[in-house]
Structure 1
C-alpha cells in the first residue's frame, strides 16, 4: 500500500496523460466516451464514469462587442481598475463610458470518474473533470453598479448569454480518496461521519456485495483556517441517476411490511442496505426505520443479517449523519 505522499506523487504523474485526453476528447461524445478515452491513455486503470453534476458557473473574463478578449480574469481587471481610481466606482464608470464591454462566465458541470485500487471501501482513485463553456454574459457598467458585486456578477445578469466557443474538458483534480481521508482523520482523534460511513459499508452486506465507489463519490475540500491550519471536508454523493426512490412505509410499520419496503428500496438502488446509507446521507429514509428494524430483530423476526443489525444498533447508540 502506498503512503499518502506516494499517492499524491503518483496522481501527479497521471495528470499529463489526463490533460492530453481532455484536450482531444469532444464533450459532445459524452461521459462514457471520456471514460473509454482515459482507459486508452491509462490502460492500468479502468476509470468508470460515476456522476455528472452541473448547474454552476464561475466568473470568466471580459470581451468587447467584436468578441476580442480584453482579459481572462474579470475580477482582477476590475480590482486593478478600481485601485487606479482610488476605489471610486463612479469614476471607473465614467472612464469606461462609450466602451462596450461584456463580462463572461464559465458554465459547466463536473464529471466524477472512479477506479478501484483494492478491496478497502476508500481504496480508489477519483478523477474530477469539468466540462466548461465560456458564455458572454452581462454588459459591464450598464446597470450603473454601486458595488463590486453588482459590477462583476449582478443578480439576473444576461438572461440570454451568448456562447463564445464550444464546450471543452479540463482536469480539475485526481486524488486517492483513502489518502485524503487519512490526512483528514489525522486532524482529530474521533472519526468523522465519513469515516464511520465507510467503516459501516465495509462491515455490512453492502460492502460484501459491491464496491463503495460503484455507488458513491466523495466531494472533497481543503482550505486553511484563520490559524493557517488545514481544514478538510468530505461529502459523499450518491451516483444514482436522479433522486433516490421514495421509501414506501409509514411510521410505525414493522414486520413483513417493513421488510418488503426495505427490499423494494434496496432493489431500486441496486445493493443491500442501501436504505441505511441513504438514511445517513440523502435523508430519503426516515430515522424511525432503524429503530423498527432492530426491534424486529429483537423479537426474532430476522430479515437482516446479524452484521447489519449490529451496525444499525451501533448507529442508534451513536447516531451520525454525513
Structure 2
C-alpha cells in the first residue's frame, strides 16, 4: 500500500482576513510539507522542532511545542482485495457507485461481490495539538493540528453472504472490534489545520455582538490569578470548528480543551465542603494542575468539579472567610451573575 498524500485529509487553515491570507497560505503549505516528510517514528517532539524552523514570512521564528494529543478516532478508508491490493481509495464513493449499479438493491450488491474477497479499510487517527506563542495575551498563539494516521483493514465486505441492513452498516458495521486490525502501511503525519487563535476569536466576536463562552473564558483567565501565573496555551488548546450554514455563511466555534496527556487533576473535596476543608481541596487541585484558579476553569469544561463548588466559595467569602485574591473573587462573581460552560 502506498502512503496517502497530505491532500487526502482535506487540510484546512483558519486565517486572519485581508492581506495576511497569502502569508498564511505560504505557512500552511510549508507546515504540510514538513508533515509529509517527517517520519512518525521520530516522535512529535522532532516534528515540533522542525516546525520551529518554519517561520511565518516576515516574522521571527516561533517555538512550537506539543501540548495535547487526542486519539481513539478513525475515518473511513478505501477498499482492498485479499492480497491488500487497492480497489478504491474511497470506500463510501465505491459503495455508492456499486449500489447504484444494482439499482439500490443491497441483496444484488452482496450477490455480485460475495466471491470477490473485498475488505474495507479505515484510518486510525490521533490529533496532535502544537502551539507557538506570538505575544503575551492569552489568545496570542498559533495552534497547529496535525493528524497521525495509519490505514488498517477494517472488516470484510459481504462475508459469508451476509447482507447489511443499510449502506451505513456496510461502511461501518456497529459493534465492530477494532483492536486487532491489520496495518496496511506505516503511520504518517498530515496537516489538519493552522489557526491564528487571536484572529479566529476576533472573527467569532464579529459574528455576534455579545461575547461567546470562549471569549468570556479567556477574559476570565486574563483577569484571574491564572493569567498572572501561567501562559494560557501551556495549559489549554482550542477545538476549532468552522462550517457554512444553510445561507452559506461561515459559523465559527471554539471550545477549550485541557492540555493534559494523562490523568487530569482530581478534586478531593467532600460533598458540601466549606471553609478550611474546601480551601485545602481547591489548593490541592491547583497544585496538581500547576497554576492558581485551575479548579474554576476545569469546572467550566469538565465534570471534574460540580458548579456547586463555586457557590460554596462565594458563601465563604460572604461569611468573611475569603481565601481567594480579590481579582479571583470578581471573576467568580461575574460567572455566578451570568453562568456559562462548555
Per the shorter chain, which TM-score range? Answer: over 0.9
- Change in Cα spacing, 1:7 to 1:311, as seen in structure 2 (3 Å) is farther
- Change in Cα spacing, 1:3 to 1:65, as seen in structure 2 (3 Å) is closer
Corresponding residue number in structure 1 for 2:8? none
Answer yes or no: is the 8 Å Cα contact 2:244–2:250 preserved in 1: yes
Corresponding residue number in structure 1 for 2:171? 152
Which of residues 187, 192, 200 in structure 2 aligns to 1:180?
200
Q: Which secondary structure does the structure 1 equivalent of 2:192 belong to?
A: strand
Is 1:130 equivalent to 2:147 in the alignment? Answer: yes
Which of residues 7, 30, 50 in structure 1 aligns to 2:67?
50
Is 1:287 equivalent to 2:307 in the alignment? Answer: yes
User: What does the per-residue CA deviation read over 1:22-62, in whole Å, with 9 as the maximum and x for residues that have no partner?
Assistant: 12222122222221121234471111101000001000011
- Change in Cα spacing, 1:7 to 1:289, as seen in structure 2 (3 Å) is farther
Answer yes or no: is the 8 Å Cα contact 2:238–2:257 preserved in 1: yes
Is 1:105 equivalent to 2:127 in the alignment? Answer: no
Answer yes or no: is the 8 Å Cα contact 1:138–1:158 preserved in 2: no
User: What does the per-residue CA deviation read over 1:167-202, in whole Å, with 9 as the maximum and x for residues that have no partner?
Assistant: 001111101112222222222222111111011011
Cα distance, 1:287 vs structure 2:
1.6
Corresponding residue number in structure 1 for 2:221? 201
Which of residues 20, 33, 50 in structure 2 aligns to 1:37?
50
Cα distance, 1:147 vs structure 2:
1.1
Is 1:94 equivalent to 2:111 in the alignment? Answer: yes
CA distance in 1, matches of 2:319, 2:306: 21
User: What does the per-residue CA deviation read over 1:141-184, in whole Å, with 9 as the maximum and x for residues that have no partner?
Assistant: 11322310121111234653210001001111101112222222
Q: Supply the RMSD in Å over aligned alpha carbons.
A: 1.8
TM (norm. structure 2) is 0.88
Which of residues 268, 274, 283 in structure 1 aligns to 2:288?
268
Answer yes or no: is the 8 Å Cα contact 1:8–1:175 preserved in 2: no
Which of residues 261, 265, 286 in structure 2 aligns to 1:245?
265
- Change in Cα spacing, 1:7 to 1:235, as seen in structure 2 (3 Å) is farther
Corresponding residue number in structure 1 for 2:37? 24
Point out where structure 1 has 5 or more consecutive residues left out of the alignment.
none
Q: Which secondary structure does the structure 1 equivalent of 2:286 belong to?
A: helix
- Change in Cα spacing, 1:284 to 1:39, as seen in structure 2 (3 Å) is same
CA distance in 2, matches of 1:194, 1:83: 45
Cα distance, 1:6 vs structure 2:
4.4
- Change in Cα spacing, 1:308 to 1:54, as seen in structure 2 (3 Å) is same
Aligned residues: 321
CA distance in 2, matches of 1:272, 1:221: 29
Q: Which secondary structure does the structure 2 equivalent of 1:208 belong to?
A: helix
- Change in Cα spacing, 1:129 to 1:303, as seen in structure 2 (3 Å) is same
Point out where structure 2 has 5 or more consecutive residues left out of the alignment.
1-14
